[in-house]
Homo-oligomer: A and B are copies of this chain.
């Protein structure tokens, strides 16, 4: 019975996600769902990403957290419009649901946005199960978390379209096997683009920004 109810919740979410997807498509907005464990560097990656693409790409951000507006405050400093969601208003949810994202999007001027990045709640498990109407999903894995997370949390790496291996500036101080990490990701998702980078030093940021800008321009072309 528990399973049936979970199924119903997921079905209701899919319905809302489809509405979001149509709304974003009508406005020609590329939507990225950014997910990771707590502390993998979602916000710092976004700060640096926005700073570098904002002149060319009109971006906005929806940030999900259980509590606090710390991340939204940091991101607002980039100049991008930011909407904060606190899931403790929705029972402390461990993920962003489609209706919550849809509601947050009402606070944005969608006519003047080309790229919407949704920073999900820090959790490598549950957010992978909830479609929010995005065009693509990105997972960040910090190298400090070890190599084997893709095989231990396979759903996240299966549903994502791109993986960012963050904090490579710490590699000299870690027992971390780069090849093993890539092999584990390929085992779960053979074709997934993988970008190794440091949100702190911006090393390796170029290919990731190129990927993102390419996704946005493909979407703009498709919708015109």
Contact = CB atoms under 8 A, between A and B. Distances in A.
Interface of A: 2-3, 5-6, 9, 37-40, 65-68, 70, 91-92, 94, 121-126, 142, 144-146, 148-149, 151-155, 167, 169-170, 173-175, 200
A128 to B, nearest CB: 9
B39 A146 contact: yes
B94 A39 contact: no
B144 A167 contact: yes
Contact of A148 (B68, B91, B174): B68
Given A123-B125, A125-B66, A38 B92 contact: no
Contacts of A144: 39, 142, 144, 167, 170
Number of copies of chain A assembled together: 2
A126 B38 CA distance: 13
A145 B153 CA distance: 18
A153 B66 contact: yes
A70 B124 CA distance: 18
Contacts of A9: 2
